[in-house]
Amino acid sequence: MIGFYGGLTASIVILSLFMGAGSHAARPAALGEALRVHGVLGPRFRRFAAAVLPFAEGALGAVGAAVLLTGHQRGLQAVLAVGTALFGLYAGYTRHVLALGRGGPCGCSRQDVPLSRWVTRRAVALAGLALAGAVIAGAGPVRLSAAELITLMLAASACTVLLWSLPAAMHEPTAASVHLPTRATVHQPTETTVHRTAEGVSTRWTSPPAL
C-alpha cells in the first residue's frame, strides 16, 4: 500500500497546483491586486510574483502529473520537494501578512475570499502532504492496480476539493439587515445586525493574525 498512499498525497498536491493555476488564469488581475493590498512586496516584486507564480503552479502540476503517470520515482520526488517549498513559502508569506495585522483578498480563488488563518493552514497542510509524498515515494515506486487507481483518483479529487474550499467554507461574510418602521407615523431607529466571521472579525477583508 506504499504506492497507494504515495500516489494519494502526490495527487492531492498536483491537483491543488492545477486548481491554483486555474484560479489565477480565471482572474489574471486578482493575484496582483491581492499582493498590492497586502502591502508587503514592492511594485517590481509584485509584478514578478503575479506573473511567475501561476506559471510555476501550472508547469509544476503538469510535470508532476507526467511523472506520476509514468511512475518516475526520482522525478516525482523532485516535483513534491519543489511543491513543499512553494506551499511552505506561501504559508510563510500569508502568516507574515496576518502577523502585520493586514488583511485583503487571498488572491488564490475565483471568489472574493479574504486572507485568514485558514489560508495559511491550508498551505501548511499542502506543504506537509507534499513532504510526506516525497518521503513515501522514496520508499518505492508507485505501482497501482486498476481498482486502486480508480479509488486513488476519487479520493484525491474529493480531498483536494474539500481542502481547497476550506478558507471559503470557514469565512462568514458580513451582512446587514435593516428593519423598517412598522407604522408610518412612528419613526424607529434602524437596527443593523452585523454577522461576524468565526474569528469575530466584522470587516470584509480583515482577519486576525494566524496562531
pLDDT (mean) for 157-166: 91
pLDDT (mean) for 160-183: 66
List, as one string, the DSSP characters of 81-127. HHHHHHHHHHHHHHHHHHHTT---B-SSSSS-PBP-HHHHHHHHHHH
Residue 116: alpha-carbon gap to chain centroid: 11
46 versus 188: which is more confidently predicted? Answer: 46
- Check: CB of residue 171 under 8 Å from CB of residue 205: no
- Check: CB of residue 79 under 8 Å from CB of residue 142: no
- The residue written with cell numbers 520537494 in the block is 81
Residue 104, pLDDT above cutoff 80:
yes
Give tens-digit pLDDT for 172-194: 655 443 444 444 444 444 444 44
Q: Which residues pair with 192 in a beta bridge?
A: 178
- Report percent pLDDT > 90 for the chain: 36
User: How far apart are alpha carbons 185 and 4 in whole angstroms?
Assistant: 72
- Check: CB of residue 168 under 8 Å from CB of residue 118: no
Residue 74: alpha-carbon gap to chain centroid: 26
For the entire predicted model, the pTM comes to 0.77
- Check: CB of residue 24 under 8 Å from CB of residue 46: no
pLDDT confidence bin for 148, thresholds 50/70/90: confident
pLDDT (mean) for 121-127: 95
Residue 70 φ/ψ, nearest 5 degrees: -90, -10
